[in-house]
Structure 1
Amino acid sequence: MCILIFNKLNAFTLCKMVIMNLRKMEILNLYSSLTLSLLFNYLDRLYERGLASVGKDYNCNILWDKCIAFEHSHKQLHHLVYIYIRSLRFPSKKLHSYYQSFRELVAIWQEEMKCQNIAMEPLEAAVTCELVEMSMGNDFEFRNLICDLLDQAVGLLRPETFMKILTIGEYFYQKSTNIDDKIHYFEAQIWRPYFHMKPLDEYQLQIWHQYLDFVDMQGDLDWTVKLYERCLIPCASYPEFWVRYIETMETRGGREIANLALARASKTFLKRIPLFHLYCSKVKEQVGDVHGARASLLECDIHLSSNLINHVNQQANMEKRLGNIGAAYLIYEKATEMVKEQDIQAFSVLYKHFARFTYVVEYY
């Protein structure tokens, strides 16, 4: 009675307490069943978290293999169907192998259901549109759809849904096959997927840009984010990739991701690159973060004359855009006073910029 009232975890604890005081076969069997149930649920969630993180990576076949073996060992039909079809949604090193396994499973079902005479029929336009919409959905919605197509009460496919399951698998396999060769080419050309202080050669940088271009065109934001994050491991020292990542996320509605990337780059990987801090200031000003924009400008190296002039111009122009003309004048005055006796050439160039700035403010 207690086990019916408590949840599984409480029932597990209760059985453990009973075993310590009473050695009975029924209690031991119940304890074992609960333990296996909890372990299965834990491993299932663990695999799901792993697949959610790297399931779209071309090199994730090791995790897929482990997950498929796990589902085979528990003979959970709806989970096994879901995993096989999900492995076909995106290209991987073992895409064709997973498709063959899926077809073998389908052949077993055909024999069990005595429906060997069923032939694949051409997809109607309405069904094709439904599959396209399905392919753009998230994994949670996709899993629910597959489970709905299965009769979980008896663990067998319903005859009327058999062809739809088969059609879904075929559709995703064909869709992945169409881009598999291109992705395989990019993956084969990536010689250093890890971080290293030694610079990458120009060809490697070009390959990463082409790979990102290709995935950007596929329209899958999650896949795009994962590839950018992977790219930024070997390319962490290159501002062009961080800028591209930030601007791609901004244009596709991922401002939070863009802000996190901006912070990581400016505080860790590119913190000693003044031009990137100027870029950060520009981005923050555009989104209305005036305090953050000023803070980014202060991170610039103002001790070198080549950076000083650009730094002062950026600060003054930003204050002008914000309507603080007096603060803009003060920035130029302090800068010219500071370099007047240290670098006469920098003083001359800076004073010309100050004069031009004053003229524009007063007459335009």
Structure 2
Amino acid sequence: MAAEVLEMSGNGELEQTSAMDVTEDPPPPPPEISEENGGAAVVPEAPADPDSLSEAPAADNAERAGLPSDFECLWTAANNNPQDFTSWTDLLQYCEQEGNFTASRRALEAFLARYPLCYGYWKKYADLERRAGDNSKAEEVCIRGLKAISLSVDLWIHYINLLLGTLDMNLSDSPERIRSVFEDAVVAAGLDFHSDRLWDLYVEWEKEQGNMKKAAAVLDRVLKVPTQLYNTHYDKFKENLNNNPPKEVLSSEEYEELRALCRQSQKAERAEQAQEVEEERPPGEEEPTTPEGTDSEELMQKIREQALLHRDKVYQDNEAEVRKRWHFEEAIKRPYFHVKPLDRLQLQAWHSYLDWEIAELNGDHKDPAAQSDPNQEGTEESEVTPQHHEASTGDSVARDDCRVRILFERCLIACALYEEVWTRYIQYLEPQSVDVKRAVYKRACEIHLHNKPNIHMQWATFEERHGNFTEARRVLEALEKNVPGLVVVRIRRAALERRAGQLDQSEALLTEAVAASKEKPTLHAFYSIKLARLLLKVGSNPSRARSVLQEALEISPDNDKLHLNLLELEASGDPRASAEAVQECVTRALAAPLTSHAKLLLSQRGLQFAEEYSGSIKSVLSVYEEHQKLLNEIGKTKREAENGDEDPQKLSKNEDSSTVAAAEEVPPTMPQVPITNPPPSVIGTDTSAQAGYGAYSSWYQQPQYGSYGGYGYQNTWNYNQAYYPPC
């Protein structure tokens, strides 16, 4: 791919690599199809840097004595701030300049564990081991690198050249091993649009081995692959065929088939000619014959023509596929990995390319050539570009699926730090096996996205959905370790344990969070409410839930959500036994430093409870009187502020003006009480779940009691005036 001609230098800059000269690019095919990148552009959030790597153990005295003088300083800087890419490249450049093998190996191991997509450093690492005389270690490094970035054409070529330089080619199994590596390479990276150099090296190596048939077979395969230098492969095939006997280039089956066809055609032509010359031949002269077992040059030329005619269709179809992709390929300016964020247009270019390739697989696009000839059926020659709106074979669908996955892998090299691309890839792989998707999650979370919570939580959900609670638990624990203090992760862990039937563990996680957050009152209140809900609703233990909320109120007496939850807990019990506890909650709230709005809500809820469940009218009147006093106090405060006695800015922003207005209109001799409809249960309602797991910006948003049921607490009762006579 295009990324392979660029390499990270020691200081993080890009420099040209000399692994292999690139053939001159052909002119782009005529743009028969013009597709613009549509859709609204999305500006991605700058990728968060991975969490800090744990520092490697200190080297022993013997090793430390052999390290360069400034190594420890640069090593510490890189490990203390592992997301700083420049600190790593400074360390690697220093080690390379010093020529210290131990330091270089140690630095490269740590760097590549964090940034495995920097293929240039895998090459440097392999060369380091080879210079040290350890060819097996150099080969092992190449294999590790190819597992991390299998699309790297440069790294495949480097590995093959390493084998060619170290294997004894006189051994019988050495050529087969090289051929096996070539096959692995073209399977892994051969469908890449920029894989031409790999195919060319494979062809040239087969020629050097004297296997013209196998070289031609490789060219036959690449003729069906849309690559940047697609036309050069066809030129090479024609050159090989014209400069060598067809029998040495074509497979035995194809050669015999074409030979028989051409001989039959030649015989028919000679029969026609024989009739014309029969009359002119002298009597007794016989027709000259060709020696048995020999083929004329004329026959060889006919075989060549037929072989090329057979491939012309393949070449034309492949050219059409290249033309479709050319616009997308030109739009990609940074196909290599870098920690710097991609600009908006580059990210959009990748998404547009993926949209198009997936649409091709699903048959949402029609090929222009097929539209011009709707009766044309897919042939063997054009199976590399199957028409998806026709009946496609299983092989063609699998091949196109492979192309989509190759494009995703290319995209993930440049966009490795973007959750959205990994998530999209996993969604595309939905029909695949669990192990395939798990492997993608593992790469994303354990290598590239240590600090991105969404992809980790998706992985945990994926594992739980497939019954693997142990792995889901491990994923969330690792995330909480990487990103300590993230509330949503602790809540997810508690919910996972509850669903797994581990209620004690779920309770322990929330209890631990409550204890650890005492220095942060708002967070402490949030966890306390979560724990109290769990104890009440799942554990059926109202007494412990009450204790949790009461302890939280000692730390945060001004938290209205704690008062509301405790009040609803008491109101949810047996009404005959809860009256005193409910009024105690209201009394405590009215004495607390709460806003007028919060006090009014709690007082209204207490009055509602008394009206609905009290067994004595005296108790109802007592609660009513206290509520009236509160209304009068709020109204007096409002009037004083309006008269200039108090700065209105000091009043609570949450105070409801309509409630105060209603209170002012109450005649002193004719008290009225606001009618209330029952508010939704606070302790039984997790409002944070309304916006999904991640919507913790509104932890404490409770339903507005004033508008519940369409009535509102601000409305006055329209009962008979004598229902509650003046006291």
Question: TM-score, normalised to structure 2's length?
Answer: 0.35
Q: Which amino acid aligns with 1:58?
A: F
* Paired position in structure 1 for 2:118: none
Q: Which amino acid aligns with 1:54?
A: A
> Which residue of 452, 455, 461 maps to 1:273?
452
Deviation, 1:283, is 1.7
1:57-114 deviation digits (Å, cap 9, x = unpaired): 11111122222333445554532332222112211111123234445666789x979x
- In 2: Cα distance, 1:46 partner to 1:186 partner: 30
Q: Which amino acid aligns with 1:226?
A: I
- In 2: Cα distance, 1:346 partner to 1:104 partner: 75
- In 2: Cα distance, 1:43 partner to 1:300 partner: 43
Larger radius of gyration: 2
Q: Which amino acid aligns with 2:329?
A: E
Q: Which amino acid aligns with 2:337?
A: F
* Paired position in structure 1 for 2:690: none
* Paired position in structure 1 for 2:469: 290
Give the conservation status (yes or no) of the 8 Å contact 1:316–1:332.
yes
In 2 relative to 1, CA 330–38 (structure 1 residues): closer, same or farther, beyond 3 Å?
closer
- In 2: Cα distance, 1:345 partner to 1:66 partner: 65
Corresponding position: 1:331 with 2:499: no
* Paired position in structure 2 for 1:121: none
- In 2: Cα distance, 1:356 partner to 1:148 partner: 78
Give the conservation status (yes or no) of the 8 Å contact 1:297–1:311.
yes
Give the conservation status (yes or no) of the 8 Å contact 1:280–1:296.
yes
Q: Which amino acid aligns with 1:290?
A: F
* Paired position in structure 2 for 1:14: none
1:159-212 deviation digits (Å, cap 9, x = unpaired): 449799657634543443233123222222222222222111121112222223
> Which residue of 32, 56, 60 maps to 2:191?
56
Give the conservation status (yes or no) of the 8 Å contact 2:332–2:349.
yes
Corresponding position: 1:237 with 2:237: no
> Which residue of 487, 493, 503 maps to 1:315?
493
In 2 relative to 1, CA 234–336 (structure 1 residues): closer, same or farther, beyond 3 Å?
same
* Paired position in structure 2 for 1:44: 179
How do 1:249-268 and structure 2 match up within 5 A?
A: 249=429, 251-268=430-447
Give the conservation status (yes or no) of the 8 Å contact 1:85–1:172.
no
- In 1: Cα distance, 2:527 partner to 2:402 partner: 46
1:278-333 deviation digits (Å, cap 9, x = unpaired): 2221122122221111111112347766x21x123212222232233443333333
Give the conservation status (yes or no) of the 8 Å contact 1:275–1:300.
no
- In 1: Cα distance, 2:500 partner to 2:231 partner: 58
Give the conservation status (yes or no) of the 8 Å contact 2:480–2:490.
no
In 2 relative to 1, CA 343–69 (structure 1 residues): closer, same or farther, beyond 3 Å?
same
* Paired position in structure 2 for 1:135: none
Corresponding position: 1:248 with 2:434: no
Q: Which amino acid aligns with 2:194?
A: N
Query: What fraction of aligned residue pairs are identical, expressed as a percent?
Result: 25
In 2 relative to 1, CA 189–294 (structure 1 residues): closer, same or farther, beyond 3 Å?
same
In 2 relative to 1, CA 174–317 (structure 1 residues): closer, same or farther, beyond 3 Å?
farther
2:333 match: secondary structure: coil
In 2 relative to 1, CA 46–264 (structure 1 residues): closer, same or farther, beyond 3 Å?
closer
1:282 match: secondary structure: helix
Corresponding position: 1:348 with 2:490: no
1:192 match: secondary structure: coil
Corresponding position: 1:206 with 2:348: yes
Give the conservation status (yes or no) of the 8 Å contact 1:277–1:300.
yes
Q: Which amino acid aligns with 2:230?
A: L
Deviation, 1:358, is 6.0
In 2 relative to 1, CA 170–37 (structure 1 residues): closer, same or farther, beyond 3 Å?
farther
* Paired position in structure 2 for 1:149: 253
Q: Which runs of 5+ in 1 are unaligned?
A: 1-33, 114-145
1:198 match: secondary structure: coil
Q: Which amino acid aligns with 1:98?
A: H
In 2 relative to 1, CA 346–304 (structure 1 residues): closer, same or farther, beyond 3 Å?
farther
Aligned residues: 291
Q: Which runs of 5+ in 2 are unaligned?
A: 1-168, 263-302, 362-396, 541-683, 686-727
Q: Which amino acid aligns with 1:231?
A: C
- In 2: Cα distance, 1:171 partner to 1:352 partner: 71
Give the conservation status (yes or no) of the 8 Å contact 1:274–1:299.
no
Q: Which amino acid aligns with 2:333?
A: W
Q: Which amino acid aligns with 2:320?
A: N
Deviation, 1:46, is 3.8
In 2 relative to 1, CA 222–195 (structure 1 residues): closer, same or farther, beyond 3 Å?
same
In 2 relative to 1, CA 330–165 (structure 1 residues): closer, same or farther, beyond 3 Å?
farther
Deviation, 1:147, is 5.0
In 2 relative to 1, CA 279–104 (structure 1 residues): closer, same or farther, beyond 3 Å?
same
How do 1:73-92 and structure 2 match up within 5 A?
A: 73=208, 76-92=211-227
In 2 relative to 1, CA 325–187 (structure 1 residues): closer, same or farther, beyond 3 Å?
same
The structure carrying a bigger helix percent of its residues is 1
Q: Which amino acid aligns with 2:356?
A: F
Higher mean C-alpha deviation, range 322-331 or range 87-96: 322-331
1:213 match: secondary structure: helix
In 2 relative to 1, CA 168–286 (structure 1 residues): closer, same or farther, beyond 3 Å?
farther
Q: Which amino acid aligns with 1:349?
A: F
In 2 relative to 1, CA 328–245 (structure 1 residues): closer, same or farther, beyond 3 Å?
same
Corresponding position: 1:98 with 2:233: yes
- In 2: Cα distance, 1:45 partner to 1:331 partner: 53
* Paired position in structure 2 for 1:226: 406
In 2 relative to 1, CA 240–332 (structure 1 residues): closer, same or farther, beyond 3 Å?
same
Question: TM-score, normalised to structure 1's length?
Answer: 0.66
* Paired position in structure 2 for 1:120: none
- In 2: Cα distance, 1:112 partner to 1:192 partner: 43
* Paired position in structure 1 for 2:640: none
- In 1: Cα distance, 2:252 partner to 2:464 partner: 49
Alignment root-mean-square deviation, CA: 3.7
